[in-house]
Structure 1
């Protein structure tokens, strides 16, 4: 990058300034001298200690000085040397620019004094300051090695990088500021270094990793050192013009270039508008919604243009305290399993907020543009909400915004799949930089919602062969037959012969190349990864989306919308139904393997690819991606095909998932045991949390205890499983150990005639203890399907053994 272009970006506020000791040239300290740079200060300290022919090792020189004269004397010397009495004109000129951010390795207060000469306040910070407290509102300067006005004797051993002891403490890479610096240099249009020699290894590594050479400029003295001539060109364009000539160029450019006026134009982020009043839905609208997931956003409003209720969807959040939550400045997470309505609920909430005057925007992909637009969002007047469907891949983006929103009326409204959110909850808390956020579980319809959904389906004749059932029978279908889950209800509707035939016919009409792409889209959706067209093209060989004709696009319009560059699948339940009921297992597993191996090649380019591999490697995901007919064969083929990759062969998660799969297929337990051993061994090597391994190993032991013909061996296996479950129940209030504990009933029934009186009492007491623990669980956990099943199962054990 040339200087003129870089300065234009600086005038626009899109450049980062990074200064080193050479920046101080021409300023005056309290001794009316230009502050010494690090090398000269080191030589001065050595000379004061009567060390001749010393090098420029500042850490060693200052340590020696402290040993001879004391830390207080060194602190006083630093204050006199690095406290600025007067900046030069060129410093004042450079600080007229509206820098995006300022970083310096200097101890002095020259930047702050120069800003003050322009009647601008610059807040000096050090690595000990928390970024989220400052960067949303203040013009700041981060002093990476410490700041003279914050110097105390104690600081010489830590935050003030001068003595050898201080260099042993965590530097930039270990601080909260490392991520901010990375984000700043990625977003900046230009990065200008003044008087900096790139000697710090932390900063070398960071800038090398970010690959920003094309937009980086180093302004050095007219006679740079030989080291600078070798080192700096590796990181950017070197201009040996000196700071005075730079200031002259700044003055010239400022006179001739008018700052670009920024308008709040959002392209990467999509604005959600208030709902417009419209007609009543018809049969075709509701059929498209229920069967294909095609949402007509204009119909989401609960009333039509006449103010009458509109039967189109069930308002899942009408009975919640969402509005009160937003008033308390809490972020919101809508949680459910796939297909249980969180996306529709998100759209309803977004429209409701937009209708009450909120600025509501939708995020779809983490790009440089979306981050720049997110910064603009923070400055919008009024209240603002950013909508993110499936937040997990975007935790870095959430952190990027959260750190900048302090004091702003800004909320995140997120969705996540239940089991994934449970695993990532702590990381979300860290990314949001809060200790609490509101969670709404949408997995089950409440009593009012069940009545509404039955009435809605009745109104549009979607019950098919259940149409003749009474109202009570239909309510029971939803409550009991479908466990109150929208996902299960939709699958039941799809299973009716009339509708199943209709869906099958639609897919059979697609040519093979489109059917393959459709399967890949469904897999991508099932993984929870971004629906960016570019990602799908990367995960399939030969980038097939590029070659789609207009006719091809029209053929798949009933499945997804890709008008924004993102593939928005219209119904995840329809995708699951096709994959698990209608598709060919051999075709699906072939595409699944192709996408996994492509992601493996690309994993160093983005964390999203690794997230994809981890997601589809889970057996619970494979069960929703592979056809039921041929599931075992396809699952084993998939696991064995990826087994030798460097991502899986030493991955405890892989071996655990393969063990879970084989256990679910009721395979030979002696063949499964080594997979658990491998998972435990690899977990130990990388400090991997074994909670999930313990849980499934407890299940493995319980199954083995049930199958074992030798009662004594069986009881010992039961005790081993019981010990793992008890540990989990003591430390976590989750449903997982109770799911396994329910199988105690199977063990008891298999060995009931052999159980000794002593063992009978032990099993009875344990079953009662588990039931007592269930009574103390949080309400949401207590009503979980696996927990209620456990309670019923253990009541049966108590009845059988009493």
Structure 2
């Protein structure tokens, strides 16, 4: 935290801006810097020859000489290795000093290079997987136009090799679309994810199920027809609660408590008594599962605690309204 405070100080901000400005007039140098910050924030390191290959540059060392002050401050050049000095600084620079369009361009370039080489280089195969993950790329972009930039990136990489037929690609598009309430786009993406995954000899649907269920709960909140909303929410909740106690389910579904609140606010008064009682039973059940999960797993996750607290408050409120 102390380092982050130093980085955010006005003096350091001014120094970073002064040092980075000359790079904006040299496209290749800028792309090398931005890409180095990207892979550093993802936890990867590459040699000088790799950077020359990624961007088809004749000599990275010439760039190092031309921008010696910038490299001395931000990069560690040791033998054939070239990497940013600080992962924290990398993330900060991407967020505050790099242009979103340049970040997307570099993400695409790195993804294309990794996809082309993944069959014979496992390190680049790992990089390609990370560069596809919504959770990995989302923090790099500014808040101003994050959603269109993310979708622009996913649209660009779709044509790289066989990405269009990769079920995880469509899953990540579905997650991104759901995050920004593009429910129509999310539906298309999840349909494509299921379609691609089911074509495999041994399809693994659980991870898609998890995120699709969260999407369905969000869709239930937005649904105008309260009967359709109930069906959507019921199916999603059944699918999610089955996964709560699975040790290998690191994407456990306790974030759903927020959707209970949203669905109740939008539809509860419009449901018949049977639907209301089923909804209350679902809430009681998932709350008890969360309490049992916390006790058996020793889990102190904010999501688990939030679900327990919010469902208790919602149950109390709905019971009070029902007896009024």
Q: TM-score, normalising length from structure 1?
A: 0.37
Cα contact 1:600–1:647 (8 A) shared by 2: no
Separation in structure 2 between the aligned mates of residue 659 and residue 640 of structure 1, nearest angstrom:
13
Deviations 1:299-341 (A, max 9, x none): xxxxxxxxxxxxxxxxxxxxxxxxxxxxxxxxxxxxxxxxxxx
Q: 1:503 aligns with which of 8, 16, 20?
A: 16
Aligned to 1:172: none
The structure that is helix-richer by fraction is 2
Counterpart of 1:674?
188
Equivalent of 1:760 in 255, 266, 276:
276
Report 1:110-149 matches (<5 A). none
Displacement after TM superposition at 1:689 (Å): 2.2
Report the aligned-residue RMSD: 2.5
| Other-structure match for 1:751 | 267
Answer yes or no: is 1:777 the counterpart of 2:293: yes
| 1:800 and 2:296 correspond | no
Whole-angstrom CA distance in 2 between matches of 1:801 and 1:527: 45
Q: Deviations over 1:669-710 (max 9, x none)?
A: 233212111111211222242222111100110011000011
What does residue 587 of structure 1 align with? 102
Match of 1:371 in 2: none
Q: Is the counterpart of residue 532 in structure 1 residue 47 in structure 2?
A: yes
Q: Distance in 1 between matches of 2:221 and 2:239?
A: 17
1-structure distance, mates of 2:91, 2:203: 31
CA deviation after TM superposition for structure 1 residue 548, in Å: 2.6
Deviation (angstroms), 1:564:
4.2
* Matched-pair contact (CA < 8 Å) for 1:698–1:740: no
- Deviations 1:376-395 (Å, cap 9, x if unpaired)? xxxxxxxxxxxxxxxxxxxx
The answer to whether the 8 A contact 2:291-2:308 is kept is: no
CA distance in structure 2 between the partners assigned to 1:795 and 1:735 by the alignment: 23
Which of residues 164, 168, 180 is equivalent to 1:649? 164
Match of 1:565 in 2: 80
- Return closer, same or farther for 1:675/1:566 CA change in 2, 3 Å cut-off: same
Aligned counterparts, 1:236-255, within 5 A: none
Distance 1:503 1:549, change over 3 A: closer
Distance 1:693 1:775 in 2: 25
After TM superposition, list the pairs within 5 Å mapping 1:121-520 onto structure 2.
290-291=2-3, 490=4, 494-495=7-8, 499-510=12-23, 512=26, 513-520=28-35
**Rg larger for:** 1
Q: Render the CA deviation track for 1:565-624: whole Å, top value 9, x for unaligned.
A: 333432222211221233211111112212222223322331222221111111111112
Residues 706 and 746 in structure 1, CA contact (< 8 A), matched pair in contact too: yes
Contact 1:742 1:791 (8 Å CA) reproduced: no
Give 1:730 deviation, angstroms: 4.1
- Relative to 1, partners in 2 of residues 1:549 and 1:579: Cα closer, same or farther, differing over 3 Å? closer
* Larger RCO, structure (CA 8 Å, separation 6 or more): 2
1:348-379 deviations in Å (ceiling 9; x for gaps): xxxxxxxxxxxxxxxxxxxxxxxxxxxxxxxx
Residue pair 2:132, 2:169 contacting (<8 A) in 1 also: yes
CA distance, structure 2, for counterparts of residue 549 and residue 557 of structure 1:
9
Q: CA deviation at 1:523?
A: 1.4
Alpha-carbon distance in 1 for matches of 2:203, 2:7? 41
What secondary structure is seen at the aligned counterpart in 2 of 1:562?
Answer: strand
Aligned 8 A contact 1:660 1:696 in 2 = yes
Task: Give a deviation string over 1:398-423, Cα, whole Å, max 9, x none.
Answer: xxxxxxxxxxxxxxxxxxxxxxxxxx
1:777 to partner: Cα distance: 2.6
Residue 642 to residue 791, structure 1, CA distance change in 2 (3 Å): same
Report how far residue 660 of structure 1 moved.
Answer: 1.0
CA spacing shift, 1:520–1:711, aligned 2, 3 Å: same
Structure 1 gaps of 5+ residues are 1-288, 292-489
Task: Quote the offset at 1:498 in angstroms.
Answer: 5.4
Q: Which stretch shifts more, 589-598 or 759-768?
A: 759-768
8 A Cα contact 1:650 1:682, kept in partner:
yes
Call closer, same or farther: CA 1:562–1:678 in 2, change over 3 Å: same
Residues 294, 304 of structure 2: 8 Å contact kept: no
Q: Which residue of structure 2 aligns with residue 786 of structure 1? A: 303
For 2:209 and 2:16, locate their aligned partners in 1 and report how far apart those are by CA, in whole Å: 41
| In 2, Cα distance between equivalents of 1:603 and 1:507 | 32
CA distance in 1 between partners of 2:312 and 2:119 (Å): 52
Aligned length: 314
Q: Matched residue of 1:583: which SS? A: coil
1:554, CA displacement in angstroms?
3.8
Q: Is the 8 A contact 2:77 2:83 kept in 1?
A: yes
Query: More deviation in 656-665 or 569-578?
Result: 569-578
Distance 1:590 1:519 in 2: 10
In the superposition, the TM-score normalised over structure 2's length comes to 0.86
Closer/same/farther in 2, CA of residues 495 and 649 from structure 1, 3 Å limit: same
User: What is the rounded CA distance, in whole Å, between the counterparts of 1:533 and 1:797 in structure 2?
Assistant: 57
DSSP-derived class of the 2:261 partner: helix
Match of 2:322 in 1: none
Name the CA distance, whole Å, in 2 between partners of 1:710 and 1:740.
21
User: Using a 3 Å threshold, how does the CA distance of structure 1 residues 554 and 505 change in structure 2: closer, same or farther?
Assistant: closer
Q: Post-superposition shift, 1:509?
A: 4.7
Taking the aligned partners of 1:791 and 1:532, their CA distance within structure 2 comes to 49
Q: Contact (CA 8 Å) 1:771, 1:794: kept in 2 or not?
A: yes
SS at match of 2:81: coil
Which runs of structure 2 are paired with 1:81-96 in the superposition (5 Å)? none
Report if aligned partners of 1:532, 1:565 keep a CA contact under 8 Å in 2. yes
In structure 2, relative to structure 1, the CA distance for the partners of 1:555 and 1:500 (3 Å cut) is closer
In structure 1, distance between residues paired with 2:238 and 2:294: 23
1:702 corresponding residue in structure 2: 217
Query: How far has the Cα of 1:761 moved from its partner?
Result: 2.6
**TM-superposed deviation, 1:653:** 0.4
